[in-house]
C-alpha cells in the first residue's frame, strides 16, 4: 500500500506549523454546497489548524450551515463582494491581526484527501527565502486527470508563477508588498503578485506532495472567467510590460475548449467586453454589458482602416533611417 504523499515529513512539518501559527481559509460567495464539501474534507484531515471561512458578500448568510459541517470553523462576514483579490487581502489582514504568520488559501471549489499544508510548510522550513508555495491540484470530479503547478520531484523552487486555487502565503511579506491588486477583481491577480514577489528578491516554490482536488471555476457565471481573463491581460501588460503579452493571454482564452467560446454567444460577448474594457482601462468589478458588440465592430473597422497608414509610416521611418546610415 502506497503512503500518502508528504506523510514522511508530516511530523517535522507539523512541528513547524505549531511554531509558525498557520491558518487555513477559503472565500465563499453564494457557493454554500461547494464550501460545505470543502469543509467536510478539511474536517477529516486538517482539524489541527485554525480554519476560517470569509464570506464575500453572499446573498444569504450560511454561517450556521458551515458550523454544522465543521463546528470549529470561524466564520467572518465581509460586507459586499470584493472579488478574489479584495477578499484575500481582507482575509490576510484579519489573520495577521489574529497573530498568524502563514495563511493557506484554498478555493471553495476544492477538496483535500490529506493534509496539504504540512508539505508546503516543510518547503519553507528548508528554503527560508521561499515566501509563496503552490499546491499540486487534481482536476475533475473523480480526480482522474490532474495538472501539476511544478515539476516532478520533492519540491521545485524558482517558479515563475503558481496557481491561486491553493497556496501558502507569508502574511508579513504579503502585507509588505501591498497584497493583491484589487483592480483585477479575480483571475491573474496571483500571477501579478508572483511577479512582484520575485522582483522583491523572494522565491516561489511548487510542492507536488501537497495535493488538492479542484473542480474549476465553481462560482463562474455569465462568462465571468472569460471576461476577467481577457480584460486582466491588459492590466497585467500595463503593470509589467516586459513580462506579459496581451495577445498571448487573449489567444489562450479563445483556445480554451471548456468555455465553448466560439459556439456560446454569452462567452463570445464576455470575451468582446473584456477586450473593450481592457482597452478603455475599466478595472475592478465587471459592469453590466452594453454596447460591447458595437464597440468591438468599430474597433475592428478602425484597426483595418488604420493598418495601411501605420504600416506606411513604419516603412517610411525605416527607409529614412536606412538612407541616413548609407550616407554616413
The single-letter DSSP state of residue 286 is P
Alpha-carbon distance of 225 to 230, in angstroms, equals 8
Per-residue pLDDT in tens (0 to 9) along the chain, 328 residues: 344 455 555 555 555 554 568 999 999 998 888 999 999 999 888 888 999 999 998 888 778 888 887 888 999 999 889 999 999 999 999 999 999 999 999 999 999 888 999 989 988 888 889 999 999 887 755 454 443 443 444 444 556 778 889 999 999 999 999 999 999 999 999 999 999 999 999 999 999 889 888 886 555 667 888 889 889 989 988 998 887 666 666 665 655 544 455 567 777 788 888 888 988 999 988 887 666 566 656 556 655 665 565 566 666 666 666 555 555 5
- pLDDT for the residue numbered 218: 55
- pLDDT for the residue numbered 68: 81
H/E element holding 85?
helix 83-97
Set of cell numbers at residue 2: 502506497
Residue 207, SS3?
strand
Residue 139, SS3?
strand
Residue 297, SS3?
helix
Residue 143, SS3?
coil
- pLDDT for the residue numbered 143: 52
CA 236-239-245 angle, to 5 degrees, is 45
Q: Distance from first CA to last CA of the chain, Å, rounded? A: 78
φ and ψ of 130, to 5 deg: -80, 125
Which residue in 77, 30, 24, 71 sits closest to 51, CA to CA? 24
222 backbone φψ class: left, alpha, beta (φ>0; ψ -120 to 50): left
Set of cell numbers at residue 112: 483535500
Model-level pTM?
0.79
Helix 246-254 with 224-239: angle, nearest 10 deg? 170
Domain boundaries of the chain, sorted by first residue = 7-214, 224-290, 302-328
- pLDDT for the residue numbered 185: 93
β 166-170/102-106 pair status: antiparallel
User: Does the structural domain 7-214 have CATH classification 3.40.50.2300?
Assistant: no
Which residue in 54, 50, 169, 45 sits closest to 104, CA to CA? 169
Across the strands, what pairs with 134? 167, 206
Amino acid at each position: 500500500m502506497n503512503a500518502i504523499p508528504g506523510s514522511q515529513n508530516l511530523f517535522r512539518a507539523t512541528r513547524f506549523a505549531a511554531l509558525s501559527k498557520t491558518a487555513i481559509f477559503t472565500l465563499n460567495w453564494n457557493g454554500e454546497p461547494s464550501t460545505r464539501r470543502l469543509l467536510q474534507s478539511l474536517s477529516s484531515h486538517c482539524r489541527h489548524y485554525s480554519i476560517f471561512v470569509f464570506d464575500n458578500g453572499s446573498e444569504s448568510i450560511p454561517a450556521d450551515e458551515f458550523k454544522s459541517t465543521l463546528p470549529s470553523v470561524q466564520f467572518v462576514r465581509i460586507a459586499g463582494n470584493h472579488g478574489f483579490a479584495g477578499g484575500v487581502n481582507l482575509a490576510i489582514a484579519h489573520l495577521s491581526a489574529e497573530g498568524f504568520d502563514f495563511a493557506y488559501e484554498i478555493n471553495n471549489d476544492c477538496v483535500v484527501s490529506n493534509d496539504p499544508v504540512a508539505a508546503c510548510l516543510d518547503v519553507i522550513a528548508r528554503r527560508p527565502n521561499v515566501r509563496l508555495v503552490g499546491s499540486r491540484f487534481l482536476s475533475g470530479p473523480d480526480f482522474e486527470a490532474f495538472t501539476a503547478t511544478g515539476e516532478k520531484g520533492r519540491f521545485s523552487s524558482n517558479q515563475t508563477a503558481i496557481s491561486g486555487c491553493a497556496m501558502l502565503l507569508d502574511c508579513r511579506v504579503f502585507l509588505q508588498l501591498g497584497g493583491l491588486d484589487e483592480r483585477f477583481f479575480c483571475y491573474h491577480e496571483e500571477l501579478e503578485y508572483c511577479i512582484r514577489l520575485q522582483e522583491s528578491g523572494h522565491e516561489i516554490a511548487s510542492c507536488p506532495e501537497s495535493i488538492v482536488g479542484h473542480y474549476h471555476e465553481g462560482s463562474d457565471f455569465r462568462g465571468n472567467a472569460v471576461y476577467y481573463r481577457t480584460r486582466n491581460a491588459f492590466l497585467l501588460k500595463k503593470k509589467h510590460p516586459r513580462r506579459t503579452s496581451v495577445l498571448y493571454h487573449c489567444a489562450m482564452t479563445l483556445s480554451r475548449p471548456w468555455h465553448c467560446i466560439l459556439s456560446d454567444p454569452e462567452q463570445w460577448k464576455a470575451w468582446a467586453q473584456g477586450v473593450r474594457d481592457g482597452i478603455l482601462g475599466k478595472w475592478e468589478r465587471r459592469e453590466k454589458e452594453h454596447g460591447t458588440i458595437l464597440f468591438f465592430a468599430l474597433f475592428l473597422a478602425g484597426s483595418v482602416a488604420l493598418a495601411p497608414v501605420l504600416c506606411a509610416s513604419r516603412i517610411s521611418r525605416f527607409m529614412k533611417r536606412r538612407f541616413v546610415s548609407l550616407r554616413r
